[in-house]
Structure 1
Amino acid sequence: MARVGTVVDLFCGAGGLSEGFRQAGFEVLAGSDFDDVAGKTFAATHPEATFVGGRIQELSVKHLLAVTGLKPGELDVLVGGPPCQGYSVYNHNRGVDDPRAGLFREYLRIVKGLRPKWLVMENVSGLTSIADGGIIKEIQAGMHELGYEVDFKILKAEEYGVPQERRRIFFIANRIGAPIRFPLPTHGKDLKPLTTIWDAISDLPKVENGRGEEGQKYAAAPANAYQSELRGNRKTVSNHSAPKLSAVNIERMKHIPSGGSWRDIPFDLLPEGMKKAKRSDHTKRYGRPRKSDLACTILTKCDVHWGAYIHPEQDRALTVREAARLQSFPDGFVFHGSRTEQYVQVGNAVPPLLGRAVADALIACDHSLSAEKAVA
């Protein structure tokens, strides 16, 4: 595939968003992140790019231009997702006073110096409820002041083939007068069928609680196009070991049927803190999803106590590879660090398929990009 444009990824993490752009035909020149372990994953999976570690506050435009070989105004797309924990719907103390809530201003500082043609910034959908939408207004105003037309929309990952319920807000902007359009859904009612949990993980080998080895062979041939695409040419599976859960958790899981949850656990086996819970509370805790379900949002740990992260058939938690499949990461993405750090990298990422849909939307709007792709 011929290159259709260049990308730099700020707050890149393991590189889910840049992977989506790469799949659409873009060349990823650099990624930057404070998390050096995620940086090892990014560097290993983006050998064509330069990883720049360290705090975003200390990242200079001069250094980015040096490592990319670009001049101001030459970069096609600057993408990035400022750390969102300050805004997350899972953070009940979220707000503008959270020190992580101002990192988008660092993104805008880099924009001012790089002058890319396009901007793509993503974040959690909860951003809309902070300060009566004040953060969104500030982001838009900041982009306008730098000469960009901007729009935003909340996208549903499952509508683009990702086997997971995930909502993300995307800001798309450009300074070249091109129209701004968001990707049209490809999956759902009257479209392609949604990709289910079992569509995503059924070919992976069985592993026992607390067990698993690198280099296991797949359990079966690819059962569908999703598995074929994510497997590529790989013959063995990485990052596929199950965290060791306690004996009491294993006993709890034995009582949870497909589609069940904590409500199916005998009262005397419930954690003490849940014995006082109302039946309407904690709806995802100790959830065992049906094979035909979408996954719940993949967070930075697949803890069965906090969500529906029990394997549909086996009495164990989801592995990092299963979480990565539910995020649409190719199996060639080998996550570095401890298993805890690997879960964080997967959960923090933009699903590559969602990133690819956004990238394709940019190509469709920008004639200079789409012309190159047509030649390819």
Structure 2
Amino acid sequence: MSRVGTVVDLFCGAGGLSEGFRQAGFEVLAGSDFDDIAGRTFAATHPEATFIGGRIQDLSVQRLLNVTGLAPGELDVLVGGPPCQGYSVYNHNRGVDDPRAGLFREYLRIVEGLRPKWLVMENVSGLTSIANGGIIREIQDGMNALGYEVEFKILKAEDFGVPQERRRIFFIANRVGAPIRFPSPTHGENLKPLVTIWDAISDLPPVENGASEEGQRYRTAPTHPFQAELRSNRKTVSNHSAPKLSAVNMERMKHIPSGGSWRDIPFELLPEGMKKAKRSDHTKRYGRPRKSDLACTILTKCDVHWGAYIHPEQNRALTVREAARLQSFPDSFVFYGSKTEQYVQVGNAVPPLLGRAVANALISCDESLSQEKAVA
């Protein structure tokens, strides 16, 4: 595949967004993140790129230019997702006072010095409700002031073949006068069928609660094109171990059928705090999704107490590898660190298939980028 352009990934984490761009034919030159453990994963899975650790506030434009060998104005795309916990709909104290809520200004500082042709910034959809849209306007105004035309849109990951309900806001901008278009859905009504949980994970070997299946062979040959693509030519499975749940949680799961939740657990087995809950509340907690469902949003821990993270067949929580599949990470991604750190890397990432769709949309807009695209 010919290179279609160059990419630098700020707040790269494990590298989900840059992986999507790489699949579309871009060359990833560098990634930067404060999380050194995620950086180990990024470095191992992006051997062509340089990982730069440390705070974004301490990252100079000159260092990025030195690492990439580029001059200002030569980079094709700067991508990044400033840490979003301050904005997340799951953070009930979210707002502009959260210290993480201003990190997009560091992204803009790097933009001013690098002068890339294109910008892609992503974040949680809850960004739209902060300060009556004030953060959105500040991002737009900041990009406009640097000479970029910018548009934003909330994209649904499942529309692009990701087996998960996930909403992300994307800002796409350029200074080259090219039109800005967002990717058109490829999956859904009158399109390709949505990819379900079972389409994504049914070929992975069974795992007992608290046990590891590192290095085990797949349970079956690929039964769905999604599995075949993510497996590629791998023969064994990594990061496939289940968290060890308590005896009471194991007992609770025995009562939860396919499509069920905490409401199927006998009252005396419920956590004390949930004994007072209305049956209309917390619909995802202790959820066991149907095989035909989309996964709920993969967060930074697949805690059965907080979401529908029980395996469709087995009495256990989802493994890191299953969460990574539901995020559309290739099986070649080996996540480093403790199991807790691995879940964080997976949950914080942009699904690579969603990133690839955005990357291909940029290629379709800009004649200066090669017309050779990755096969979707």
1:30 is paired with a residue whose SS is: strand
1:345 is paired with a residue whose SS is: helix
Structure 1 residue 213: Cα displacement: 3.0
Q: What code does the residue aligned with 1:354 have?
A: L
Name the counterpart of 2:216.
Answer: 216
Q: What code does the residue aligned with 2:127 have?
A: L
1:332 is paired with a residue whose SS is: coil
Unpaired segments ≥5 residues, structure 1: none
Name the counterpart of 1:135.
Answer: 135
Q: What code does the residue aligned with 2:243 have?
A: P
Name the counterpart of 1:230.
Answer: 230
Distance (Å, rounded) in 1 between the aligned partners of 2:18 and 2:365: 19
Q: What code does the residue aligned with 1:223 have?
A: T
Structure 1 residue 368: Cα displacement: 1.1
Distance (Å, rounded) in 2 between the aligned partners of 1:337 and 1:372: 36
Alignment of structure 1 residues 225-264 onto 2, 5 Å: 225-264=225-264
Identity value in percent: 88
Name the counterpart of 1:356.
Answer: 356
2:9 is paired with a residue whose SS is: strand
Judge which range, 173-182 or 274-283, deviates more.
Answer: 274-283
Q: What code does the residue aligned with 1:96 have?
A: V
- 1:364–1:370 CA contact under 8 A, matched in 2: no
Alignment of structure 1 residues 40-119 onto 2, 5 Å: 40-119=40-119
Q: Which runs of 4+ in 1 moved over 4 A?
A: none
Name the counterpart of 1:20.
Answer: 20
- 1:117–1:176 CA contact under 8 A, matched in 2: yes
Name the counterpart of 1:162.
Answer: 162
Structure 1 residue 373: Cα displacement: 5.2
CA offsets per residue over residues 87-142 of structure 1, 9 Å max, x none?
00000000001000000000000000000000000000000000000000000000
Q: What code does the residue aligned with 1:43 have?
A: A
Distance (Å, rounded) in 1 between the aligned partners of 2:153 and 2:221: 38
CA offsets per residue over residues 213-259 of structure 1, 9 Å max, x none?
31010000000110000001100000000000011100000000000
Structure 1 residue 372: Cα displacement: 5.7
1:249 is paired with a residue whose SS is: helix
- 2:360–2:373 CA contact under 8 A, matched in 1: no
Q: What code does the residue aligned with 1:118 have?
A: W
- 2:24–2:373 CA contact under 8 A, matched in 1: no
TM-score normalised by structure 1 residue count: 0.99
- 1:30–1:52 CA contact under 8 A, matched in 2: yes
CA RMSD of aligned residues (A): 0.8
TM-score normalised by structure 2 residue count: 0.99
Distance (Å, rounded) in 1 between the aligned partners of 2:104 and 2:243: 34
Q: What code does the residue aligned with 2:221 have?
A: A
Name the counterpart of 2:266.
Answer: 266
Q: What code does the residue aligned with 2:50 have?
A: T
1:122 is paired with a residue whose SS is: strand
Distance (Å, rounded) in 2 between the aligned partners of 1:199 and 1:368: 37
CA offsets per residue over residues 185-217 of structure 1, 9 Å max, x none?
000000000000000000000000000131010
- 1:3–1:373 CA contact under 8 A, matched in 2: no
Change (3 A) 1:250 1:97: same
Name the counterpart of 1:302.
Answer: 302
Q: What code does the residue aligned with 1:195 have?
A: V
Say whether residues 1:338 and 2:343 are aligned partners: no
1:139 is paired with a residue whose SS is: helix
Task: Give aligned pairs, total.
Answer: 374
1:222 is paired with a residue whose SS is: coil
Q: What code does the residue aligned with 2:318 have?
A: L
Distance (Å, rounded) in 1 between the aligned partners of 2:338 and 2:304: 19
Structure 1 residue 335: Cα displacement: 0.1
Structure 1 residue 7: Cα displacement: 0.1
Name the counterpart of 2:191.
Answer: 191
Unpaired segments ≥5 residues, structure 2: none
Distance (Å, rounded) in 1 between the aligned partners of 2:198 and 2:25: 29
Distance (Å, rounded) in 2 between the aligned partners of 1:167 and 1:142: 24
1:109 is paired with a residue whose SS is: helix
Distance (Å, rounded) in 2 between the aligned partners of 1:134 and 1:335: 36
Distance (Å, rounded) in 2 between the aligned partners of 1:109 and 1:260: 48
- 1:61–1:114 CA contact under 8 A, matched in 2: yes
